[in-house]
Amino acid sequence: MVSITEGMRYRKKIVECTIQHSNKAFAARKYGTTRQYVSYWHKRYDGTIESLRKKSTRPHYHSNQHTEEELELIRHMYRYHGYKCLAHIFRKCLDTGYERCYDSMYRQIRKMKLNNKLDKKNYHRRKRKETLRAMYPGERVQIDIKYIPNSCIGFTSNYYRYYQITAIDEHSRKRVMTLVNEKRTYSTMQFLSTLQEKMGFRIKEVQTDNGTEFCNDNGKLSGFQKVLLKLGIRHRRTVPYSP
């Protein structure tokens, strides 16, 4: 059933008054509107009240909309990487030359209803890697560095930023920590040089993230990695964009 709004009834009264008196200015003064408004709806009126219904004001085109090449790129990346998170798809698009923001990409995915095409029964999930548990102390030690807020420091910071370097042995859960005021390779090198002595056993492998305080992006060995080679310790790096 087609609904007739109050606005349509109001505009019909204006148009009928205009036709009755053959005067647009009179109808505009009577109903408190402008002559341009009366003239517009008088031209639209064809004798039926349906002609007085407002049309959609949504634009058919805007200058900054996605091109067909960008939409095809999103479809392609979603087709091959849709079983992963949307952040991974966005990263793949950026590597191919996509210059929009994450929200724009997600809006187009939702608009094309790509996220509704996956059948939960046939949804391909990536198999989780079985975590290899350490069998003896020193088999694998995890090292990370975190910023400490000034509110958590029990002394005057003197406008320095302090960081905590933590090393945890996966087997014994023994933990060694230290406090530094610089987040750079020199601090992690100094921490690593005395780590085995503080742990009390030989370390076979060290696992870290991909931060610049542990490794370089240009392929060259950092100072931290050079100390690992000197001590005969293997270095394992975590997968990017994963905790």
pLDDT for residue 224 is more than 80: yes
- Say what the pLDDT of residue 207 is: 92
Share above pLDDT 70 across residues of the chain, in percent, rounded to a whole number: 91
Show the CA angle centred on residue 47, arms to residues 20 and 33, nearest 5°: 55
- Say what the pLDDT of residue 119 is: 46
- Say what the pLDDT of residue 239 is: 81
* Residue 202 near residue 172, CB atoms below 8 Å: no
- Residue 4: both structure tokens together: 């007739």
- A 10 A CB-CB count for 215 gives 19
Query: CA torsion sign, 33 to 34 to 35 to 37?
Result: negative
Tally of residues, the chain: 243
pLDDT for residue 17 is more than 60: yes
Nearest-angstrom CA–CA distance, 197 and 101: 48
Can you tell me the mean pLDDT for 174-198?
91
- Say what the pLDDT of residue 114 is: 86
- Say what the pLDDT of residue 128 is: 62
**What confidence tens digit (pLDDT) does each residue in 80-135 have?**
888 888 899 999 999 999 999 999 999 999 989 887 654 444 445 555 666 678 88
Could you tell me the residue ranges of all domains in the chain? Answer: 6-52, 68-116, 141-237
Q: Which CATH number applies to 141-237?
A: 3.30.420.10
- Say what the pLDDT of residue 125 is: 56
pLDDT for residue 65 is more than 70: yes
Please state, rounded to an integer, the average pLDDT across all residues of the chain: 87
**What confidence tens digit (pLDDT) does each residue in 143-160 have?**
999 998 888 877 777 778
